[in-house]
Structure 1
Amino acid sequence: MAKNGKKGIGKIVLIVLAVLVVIGVAGTALGGNSDSADAPDAAGQAETQQAEEQEPYTITDEAMDTSNPYAVFIDGTLTNNTEDEVSYIQVEYNLYDADGAQVGTALANTNNLQPGGVWKFEAYGTASPDEVASYELIDVMGF
């Protein structure tokens, strides 16, 4: 009788294990537990997405100055939103006449912009100020 008792317990343990495996597989197939430590919550996903979407550089306070009879200047403020020093950074603008035709470019550059640093730039363009009606930021390059 002792032999049969051991076999009976082994079968019961095997059946219980099989039922637990089936329940685990069914739970996973149906979506599992959404409160898992591995799954970020909605706020965590929003923060991650916002950090990924933040531009490395932000330009504000842009204004065109045509008061010089020989050159056009685009003034602005650039902020380094990265956690790294930028050894070299450049802004480039296209300059357009009243018909929308490009008549020149304006450039400015600087070195060693610190993390979170703010640079007040003046991009210089050689187009005749009386030709220039508008401008467009074309590129911000930093490394």
Structure 2
Amino acid sequence: MANLPGWLKQFMNKAITSLIFPDDPDLNLTAFDMGEDMATMSIDEDTVKRLKVAFGEVGAAEMAVPATITVSIVKTVASANIWRKRIFANGLVGGVNRTCVFTDDVGNEYTLFACTLSMGEVTANATNPAYSFTVKGTLAVNTDLYGVYIG
């Protein structure tokens, strides 16, 4: 990709963004389903807690932390209706571990467990071409230290 023009490299990177639900494939999204804001993930807590002890503070690595993925889905794609219907019926992701694999625009993969879906802010602005949705789940961190055991 080194010989490609800069604007094409950026497009190519964004094209790999996806949300994959291994046990609930109806919810799968690719970059082509997403609106301009695509998808972003935020970690909702610190991955290392500072604990007070008699001689000061020590760091205690967390095994897993809550995380939120915010995704915009173009209103005219079939996925938008599937997500809306699912949220109104039941906001839980299917499967034993209720898993979502988020791939960001540079190819890093993050797996969230115990995921729930919700709809973001709905505006009356008819010119907005996308719905906003959130996926909340638990992100395993420090897996080198603890390993991963789910299910």
Q: TM-score, normalised by structure 1?
A: 0.32
Higher RCO (C-alpha under 8 Å, 6+ residues apart): 2
Higher helix share: 1
Structure with the greater alpha carbon radius of gyration: 1
Q: TM-score, normalised by structure 2?
A: 0.30
